[in-house]
């Protein structure tokens, strides 16, 4: 085929005339451009559809827009049909699958991921699903990078790096924030910031942001200029904001878990869709700012206008009452979390990146309004909203630097750096004792499938210990005599002999050194049971299949043992783990993780 021949010629030409490093940098720019185009396409489609749908208004006798009750159901239905009959695979948040790919699959993502999250999230959010587009776009960019790397036959390390370039480009393209895009990959994907990785990531992020600027102007997502200076006397207020945002972050994490878990227990997809669509429609009908991503509503708050707070709302007649507006805003903070989890749980596709920003903005705005209302010194609601965005994102995503620099780049300067650092640090310190990982990584961490910055810990965590179990030991049974043991010694190349019950449950071990003096005395062959020759063993000599790798390693180190007996949770013998083989496998695994 002509394409196959051209492809092979290019690969040969490239290897002869272009260094690997140069080629990787060129590909990082290509990945950034494609990720930026994907971000622009997704945002344009969703925002245009949102504006068109909200242009139709059928009021009810209590106010509000009747169509808002229907739109989310349409979006959920279209998304479910697309996922079931075209993608034929679960999509979910998208980013956990990217993290799993980095940890377990060498950065390999299916080609369908280059479009599946893009289309599915468009259908969900365009019709009012209360989720974000950032995670689907980052997942799409990651898949673009992964597949381009594999197409050009790059090694595993470079494929992973291009995957990260795609994610960095996607975030940079959405927010015109290249530094935040790079920090997103470093903190959320847990990439090492080295000379080898930082330049491709930055080139990809800058390329994507440039594409977004060129096609959509300066306000890719939303933009705001900080007005006024921040003084040292305001720091206590931002500390309080950090504590409040920590509570909001924990609420967000707990509620999303509970709601999604509740939906996962439903009997069928039809049940989930019906319950979710009705619930979501009612929530959005009562609280219209929950419709879609919510950035237009957040922009209004940042600009000091709460016109969208009660637009098309059944509560619009109460909009003039300040305390009612405060209560309404607090309910919005609580309900946005429920709406996000409901959208995802019932079959919609989207992420929690955007909702954490929206909830953070509302949290800061609410706390500042409350402070001003009770007579404390006047504070800037816009500044509090922006700092709240960074703080809640820090608590939810465990990415403080990304959150801080994202807000700094959005505002076009660093006037808020001090309060951003204060509030984000306080939030992180308050949340981390309760949640050790980000919303994307915690389930993978529980399953032992998470690659972290600590490569030593990650190596032990990610290694498959089951593959290291040695089974070439000759066993003897509980009813055997010394003669049977001598026969086993003839055919064994090992010095240890496990003793098993008739049902294969483990009883103990016999070491060759312990029987060397009597094995040549035939008169003892039929009078000495093997059970009397077993060596005393302790829990330190045994590991179970369910034991975490760290515990296995600790037993090797503390007891200075050369072999550990492996049994399952019911006590059945599985084999042995050798100290030498286990640590050799560890060294190979670490080497594969750090190819710098």
251 and 196 in one domain? no
- Would residue 305 count as lying in a domain? yes
pTM of the model: 0.78
- Would residue 454 count as lying in a domain? no
355 and 485 in one domain? no
Residues above pLDDT 90, as percent of the chain: 23
Instruction: Supply the pLDDT for residue 448.
Output: 57
Helix axes of 116-126 and 134-151: crossing angle, nearest 10 degrees: 170
437 and 486 in one domain? no
Give the number of domains in the chain. Answer: 3
CA distance 293 to 477: 66
243 and 186 in one domain? no
* Residues whose CB is less than 8 angstroms from the CB of residue 174 and which lie 6 or more positions away in sequence, other chains included: 39, 43, 133, 134, 137, 212, 220, 221
- Would residue 225 count as lying in a domain? no
Lowest mean pLDDT among 295-304, 484-493, 528-537: 295-304
- Would residue 452 count as lying in a domain? no
- Would residue 181 count as lying in a domain? yes
- pLDDT beyond 90 at 444: no
Which of 382, 413, 447 terminates a domain? The answer is: 447
Indicate the pLDDT class of residue 220, thresholds 50, 70 and 90.
very low
Instruction: Supply the pLDDT for residue 568.
Output: 87
Relative to beta strand 476-477, strand 542-544 is: unpaired
Q: How many residues are listed for the chain in this entry?
A: 596
Mean pLDDT of the chain: 83
- Would residue 221 count as lying in a domain? no
- The pLDDT of 302-320, averaged and rounded, is 68
- Would residue 101 count as lying in a domain? yes
145 and 59 in one domain? yes
Instruction: Supply the pLDDT for residue 70.
Output: 87
Is the distance from CB of 473 to CB of 212 less than 8 angstroms? no
529 and 421 in one domain? no
17 and 149 in one domain? yes
296 and 409 in one domain? yes
The 563-567 sheet, strands edge to edge: 542-544, 563-567, 573-578
The CATH number given to whatever domain includes residue 48 is: 1.10.3080.10
* Residues whose CB is less than 8 angstroms from the CB of residue 195 and which lie 6 or more positions away in sequence, other chains included: none
Lowest mean pLDDT among 37-46, 369-378, 402-411, 558-567: 558-567
- Would residue 536 count as lying in a domain? yes
168 and 86 in one domain? yes
- DSSP-assigned states of every residue in 44-100: HHHHHHHHHHHT---B-TTSSBGGGGTHHHHHHHHHHHHIIIII-S--TTSHHHHHH
* Residues whose CB is less than 8 angstroms from the CB of residue 466 and which lie 6 or more positions away in sequence, other chains included: 545
- pLDDT beyond 50 at 596: no
125 and 11 in one domain? yes
- The pLDDT of 140-152, averaged and rounded, is 91
- pLDDT beyond 60 at 465: yes
Which tens digit of pLDDT belongs to each residue from 183-216? 998 888 877 667 678 899 999 999 999 999 888 8
Which tens digit of pLDDT belongs to each residue from 61-111? 566 667 888 888 898 999 888 988 888 777 655 777 887 777 777 788 888
Strand partners, 543: 566
Place of tokens 């496990």: 498
265 and 119 in one domain? no
Which of 181, 216, 251 terminates a domain? The answer is: 216
The CATH number given to whatever domain includes residue 561 is: 3.10.580.10
56 and 136 in one domain? yes
Domain around 197? 2-216
Which of 216, 240, 264 terminates a domain? The answer is: 216
């Amino acid at each position: 085929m002509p394409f196959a021949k051209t492809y092979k010629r290019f690969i040969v030409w490239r290897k002869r005339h272009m260094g690997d490093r140069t080629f990787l940098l060129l590909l990082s720019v290509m990945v950034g451009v494609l990720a930026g185009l994907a971000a622009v396409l997704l945002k344009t489609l969703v925002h245009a559809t949102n504006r068109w749908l909200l242009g139709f208004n059928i009021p009810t006798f209590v106010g509000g827009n009747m169509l808002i009750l229907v739109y989310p159901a349409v979006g959920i239905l279209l998304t479910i049909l697309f996922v079931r009959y075209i993608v034929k695979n679960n999509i979910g948040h998208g980013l956990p699958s990217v993290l799993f790919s980095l940890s377990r699959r060498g950065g390999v993502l299916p080609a369908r991921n280059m479009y599946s999250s893009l289309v599915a999230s468009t259908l969900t959010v365009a019709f009012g699903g209360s989720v974000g587009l950032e995670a689907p776009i980052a997942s799409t960019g990651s898949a673009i990078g992964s597949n381009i790397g594999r197409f050009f036959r790059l090694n595993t390390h470079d494929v992973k790096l291009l995957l990260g370039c795609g994610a960095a480009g996607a975030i940079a393209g959405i927010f015109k924030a290249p530094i935040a895009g790079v920090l997103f990959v470093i903190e959320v994907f847990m990439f090492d910031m080295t000379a080898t990785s930082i330049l491709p990531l930055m080139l990809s992020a800058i390329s994507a942001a440039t594409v977004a600027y060129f096609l959509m102007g300066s306000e890719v997502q939303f933009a705001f200029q900080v007005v006024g200076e921040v003084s040292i006397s305001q720091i206590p207020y931002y500390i309080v904001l950090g504590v409040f945002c920590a509570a909001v972050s924990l609420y967000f994490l707990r509620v999303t878990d509970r709601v999604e878990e509740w939906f996962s227990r439903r009997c069928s997809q039809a049940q989930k869709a019906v319950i979710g669509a009705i619930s979501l429609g009612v929530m959005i009908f009562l609280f219209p700012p929950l419709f879609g991503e919510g950035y237009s509503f957040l922009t209004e708050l940042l600009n000091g206008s709460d016109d969208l707070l009660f637009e098309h709302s059944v509560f619009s007649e109460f909009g003039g009452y300040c305390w009612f507006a405060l209560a309404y805003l607090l309910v919005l903070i609580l309900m946005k979390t429920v709406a996000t989890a409901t959208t995802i749980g019932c079959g919609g596709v989207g992420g929690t990146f955007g909702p954490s920003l929206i909830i953070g903005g509302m949290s800061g705005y609410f706390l500042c309004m409350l402070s001003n209302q009770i007579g404390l010194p006047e504070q800037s609601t816009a500044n509090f909203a922006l700092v709240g965005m960074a703080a809640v994102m820090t608590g939810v995503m465990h990415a403080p630097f990304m959150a801080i620099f994202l807000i700094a780049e959005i505002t076009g300067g660093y006037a808020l750096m001090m309060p951003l650092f204060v509030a984000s640090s306080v939030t992180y310190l308050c949340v981390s004792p309760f949640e050790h990982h980000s919303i994307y990584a915690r389930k993978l961490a529980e399953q032992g499938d998470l690659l972290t910055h600590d490569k030593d810990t990650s190596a032990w965590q990610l290694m498959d210990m089951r593959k290291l179990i040695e089974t070439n030991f000759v066993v003897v049974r509980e009813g055997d005599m010394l003669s049977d043991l001598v026969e086993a010694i003839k055919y064994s190349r090992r010095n240890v002999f496990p003793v098993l019950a008739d049902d294969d449950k483990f009883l103990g071990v016999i070491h060759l050194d312990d029987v060397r003096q009597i094995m040549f005395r035939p008169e003892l062959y039929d009078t000495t049971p093997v059970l009397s020759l077993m060596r005393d063993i302790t829990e330190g000599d045994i590991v179970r299949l369910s034991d975490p790798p760290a515990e296995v390693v600790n037993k090797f180190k503390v007891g200075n043992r050369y072999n550990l007996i492996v049994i399952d949770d019911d006590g059945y013998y599985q084999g042995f783990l050798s100290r030498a083989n286990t640590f050799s496998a560890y060294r190979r695994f670490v080497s594969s993780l750090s190819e710098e």
